[in-house]
Structures are given as structure tokens and as C-alpha cells.
Amino acid sequence: MGHPELQPHRYTTEEYFALEAQSNLRHEFFEGEVFAMAGESIAHNTIAQNFVLALRPALRGKRCQVIMETVQLAVEANRHYTYPDIVVSCDPQDQQESRRLHHPLLIVEVLSPSTEAYDRGLKFNQYKKLPSLRHYLLVSQKTWLVEWYQLSEHGVWGHTALAEAADAVVIPELNLIMTLVQIYEEAGVVPMAAGFLGEQE
């Protein structure tokens, strides 16, 4: 007879918030389970900074805020809380918040080996439930590749793969035009080689 499997401890939302308040590590929360977030690479950090450096001047005067990965996003109350790499919110309610955001317009995730499947799958499916979200960017660290998901006026998520140096993320409502050259500046990530997309499939 086999040994019974140990079940992971399931946290209440209150226990999770208390854990975050006293922990040196950040944790994401989904349906009672808590996941510690691993440290990130220099390339990851540089790419995230490049987005902030482009977004802050673009958003000047728009009453929007750009937040890096240390601020929590309430994806679904009492069920799912994350720390996206970059969040832009233009919602007046979020302007009053001190610890977590609720109404993102743009979310950027820089892909890491340990989180890529989560960012593409469960997390994106959850993010789609956010009524305010219009743009979701998945940014590769392996090569110059940005996958841009946009919500159309008909409520359908479209997908665009940006892989050339001159390709750009263009979001008029955020006054943002950002080429791949700007996204990957000083990140030490090489442009895409022929055949890379085929290898990813």
C-alpha cells in the first residue's frame, strides 16, 4: 500500500496577504495555493526597465501609472493575485490604491523558462477576465520576439508576432511607439535567427 500524497497547504486570502506583508519574497496566489517567485536574470530586468523608460514619458499628462513587478495585481478577488512584470493602469480607482491594482490596460510579461507555460496558459486565460485589459505582451529572453495580444472592439483577442528590428508596439491610447531595438536595448539578447519560429512550434 502506497503512502498518501501530502497535499499543499491551502491559504485563505487573509493568510496570503499576511504572508506577503512579512515575507522578503513575493508570492503569487491561485485558488488557495501560493507560489514563490524566483529571482530574475539581468536581461529580464533590463527589458523591464526599457519598457518603464519608454512608458513614463509617453504617459506624461495622461493620468496613467506604470508599475513594475513589485506591485500586486488583483486578477480575480479572493482567487488569483499576481505580480506582472509591467502594468499600465489609467483607471481613477487604481490611482487611489496603495498596495494592489485592479484595472490594467496593458500587461507585459518577460518570459522565463520557469514561468513561460504559466504566462501563456493559465495566467493569460485569467487575465482575459479583466474588463479593462486591452494589450498583453509576452517578451522572449531567448531572441528578439514579442508576442502582442490585442483585444478588438468586437471582443476578440488578436495575435501579432514582432521579430524584426523595425517592428514596433504601437498603442495610440498610451502614446506608445516602441521598436524591438528599444525593447532589447542593452539586454544582451540577440536578434532572431532564421528558423527560430519553426523551432518554437
pLDDT (tens digit per residue) in 167-180: 999 999 999 999 99
Q: What are phi and psi of 17, to 5 degrees?
A: -60, -40
Nearest to 165 by CA among 188, 140, 146: 146
> Residue ranges of the domains in the chain?
40-193
The predicted-structure confidence for 131-188, as pLDDT tens digits, reads as follows 999 999 999 999 999 999 999 999 999 999 999 999 999 999 999 999 999 999 999 9
Q: Are 59 and 83 in contact (CB under 8 A)?
A: no
Confidence of residue 37 (pLDDT cuts 50, 70, 90): confident
C-alpha span between 17 and 11 (Å, rounded): 10
Selected residue with higher pLDDT from 181 and 40: 181
pTM, rounded to two decimals? 0.89
Query: Which fold does the domain 40-193 belong to in CATH?
Result: tt1808, chain A (3.90.1570)
